[in-house]
A and B are shown apart, each in its own frame.
Chain A
Amino acid sequence: MAIRATRTSKEALRRLPTPARPIVDAGDVRVPEGYEVEAVLVGLSMPTGMKAADDGTLFVLEGGATWPTRPGLPPRILRMDPSGNLEVFAEESFGGPRGIDVRGNEIFVSLKGGHYTRIVKYDLTTRERTVLVDQLPEGGWHEPGGPVFGPDGLMYFGQGSVSLNGVVEPHGLTVDVAKHPNAHDVPGQDVKLTGNNVWSDNPTASYPYPAETGAFKPYGVPAQKGEVVKGELWCNSCVMRSQPDGTEPELLAWGVRNPWGMTFSDDGDLYVADLCMEEKGSRPVGEDPGRVWRIDKAREPHGSVETPDWYGFPDYCGDGLPVWHEKHLAKKGPITGAPPLPLIEDPPPLAGPAVYLNEPHTGNGKIRFDRTEGFGYRGKMFLAQFGSYYPLNTMREEHANKGFNVVAVDLENPGEPEIFMSNRVPGPASAHPGNGGLERPVDVEFGPDGESLYVLDFGLHAITERYIWAYGHTGVLWRVTRKR
């Protein structure tokens, strides 16, 4: 399939036809001494994931219905061969490809959209497409995780929650309450509910009315105190694994709000990047940190996990404190001072703690460990920090410029991470007219040449108290190379 991709000069990147991002200039991006940065692909539409194959081929996922769900643009798997030629390897259905791994002569891709997330594989020679998994319940904002292959040859994947903060609400979901009226969170274990429901105005009714909604229920359906919701293998806020053909699925963990960054370290541990709860809606949670979890159940033999670990969503924050702790009170916005109430009456033991916490609303993208010999950060975890959704998801101005960079974290001594790649001025480039640097780093990947780090930049988001706008054709693939 054809795509119009044309070589140009660095100078031409200062005269792009896209007014929202008229300049892309690597000179505005800061990386450590001894490294250099360049733009490789410019004009991608809402790219969300990538993977390098051993032969140097790079796969990039773009388009679909992302954040927000409109505008949708062609949901495509792009393939850039080692000579730099770009083609559309496959075009998918809505809402689009999100995560990818390569194994032998096949790629494995997670697909968001509709009522269930799917995982498909493609034969790289014949392009034959096979659906492996199609039962992961979704229909909200949150994302598929993975797939990634572990050292055991198994396929690991996940799915984020439907709800933002534990109960399905219209706030922030834009059109999804209408499109997915039956979508709801599904627990990975039996849970007894407290019946602490929340109220919101139903915007889908001809006469808007206050709707009462409970945890693990579709919008407008209340929960009863003492009601037991049965745990499901195919749940959400989950981390799972299976054979490469999707058989023998096994639930490892749940209560991971949005497990969309998944990777293995050199020593075979599975790590998952997860995002904070939001300080808005009828159950606002303040100052929930971003986090990276180590999924310890991944160490156990396949088929032996009888009880999945629970990582706390929807009642615990990334720091292990309950959402009703005073530290997590909403301090600004429509509901302040009243703590969110517990949703689960008899919560399972809390797994964790997180191996890494970052500041609330930094916006965790995907993670990757440097497993190269030559890049210079062997063993460090690189995290794409997508950037804040201030003032939509929090009204605290101090979070306005959080993220918009890539950090390198030493998990042995996580303290203060090294900001590896950032703009010369804080925040996204678009906040500073004339600046051509980073907008929203969403994924990181090391090249098999051992010298390069690829950084995928989602492109421009405009955020206000009312909405998120996303602009197509503003995504960029950057490459950072160690100088020799």
Chain B
Amino acid sequence: MTDNKAKNAGPMLVELDGQTWEQMIDRIETWFGNVLAAQGAFRRHVESTLEKIREPDTRDLLADILDKADQHERQAKELFALIGREPPTGRKAAGALISGAQKALGKVEGVAGGATAGGWSDLRQCLLLNVDSMGAFAVAEQLGFALAMPEISQITFEVENDKAKHQLVMQELVLETAAINILYEEPA
């Protein structure tokens, strides 16, 4: 196969040298910033939505989701330690990228049919923000696979499972009350 020179030259690392690896870690760090921003946006929106919800069962369900959302935000921060980096803090965190879904929310407000009473429209926006943050975690999971970092994939996989269930819960709440909120509520 290879000549004697190659045989004795030692093994070859493919994309595992320090420089290449650090470049990849830099890119993962940037993505983790997106994960944190997306999850933070979701958590904040659930918080503000909860304040507007009156129906007790819905409040209980959303309160559970908020507890988990807090936990998931902490887990998003913990991801940084797994690549030897620090999560952004202070102004850096505030300046983190605003996710696409968060930007889109302004447009969503306009197509909610005026159904903003009782937090229904806010709840619907939670759905979109959860999809965005769930997707951000799922991408992080793939990056963990790509760089053979099982802890990243394990954490993100469990978060995605939680968030998939939350998505179903919120979807059911939104759909169950959709007709009431759109056909019968007075526009705010």
Question: Which positions in A face B, CB cutoff 8 Å?
Answer: 3-10, 12-13, 16-21, 24, 38-45, 52, 56, 58, 70-71, 73, 80, 82-84, 86, 447-449, 452, 454, 459-460, 462, 469-474, 479, 481
Question: Which positions in B face A, CB cutoff 8 Å?
Answer: 1-3, 5-7, 9-17, 19-21, 142-143, 145-151, 153
Point out the residue from B5, B14, B21, B145 that lies within 8 Å of A44, measured CB to CB. Answer: B14
Q: Given A472-B145, A472-B148, A18 and B16 touching (CB < 8 A)? A: yes
CB distance from A28 to the nearest CB of B (A): 14
CB distance from A43 to the nearest CB of B (A): 4
Assess whether B10 is in contact with A8, with CB atoms less than 8 Å apart: yes
* Chain B residues positioned under 8 Å from A460 (CB to CB): 148
Assess whether B146 is in contact with A43, with CB atoms less than 8 Å apart: no
CB distance from B19 to the nearest CB of A (A): 7
Sample of 19 A–B contacts (CB below 8 Å): A4-B17, A6-B16, A8-B10, A13-B11, A19-B151, A21-B148, A43-B13, A56-B3, A71-B143, A82-B3, A82-B6, A84-B5, A452-B1, A454-B1, A459-B148, A469-B153, A471-B145, A472-B146, A473-B147
In whole angstroms, how far apart are the Cα atoms of A71 and B151 in the complex? 16
Point out the residue from B2, B13, B17, B150 that lies within 8 Å of A84, measured CB to CB. Answer: B2
Q: 5 new A-B pairs (CB below 8 Å) besides A83-B6, A86-B14, A459-B148?
A: A13-B11, A18-B147, A43-B14, A43-B16, A471-B150
* Chain A residues positioned under 8 Å from B21 (CB to CB): 17
CB distance from A183 to the nearest CB of B (A): 23
Measured CB to CB, the nearest residue on chain B to A62 is: B14
CB distance from B174 to the nearest CB of A (A): 14
In whole angstroms, how far apart are the Cα atoms of A19 and B2 in the complex? 30
In whole angstroms, how far apart are the Cα atoms of A117 and B87 in the complex? 44
Assess whether B16 is in contact with A42, with CB atoms less than 8 Å apart: yes
Assess whether A5 is in contact with B1, with CB atoms less than 8 Å apart: no
CB distance from B172 to the nearest CB of A (A): 12
Q: Given A19-B149, A20-B149, A473 and B5 touching (CB < 8 A)? A: no
Assess whether A39 is in contact with B149, with CB atoms less than 8 Å apart: no
CB distance from B76 to the nearest CB of A (A): 19
* Chain B residues positioned under 8 Å from A471 (CB to CB): 145-146, 148, 150
Assess whether A470 is in contact with B16, with CB atoms less than 8 Å apart: no
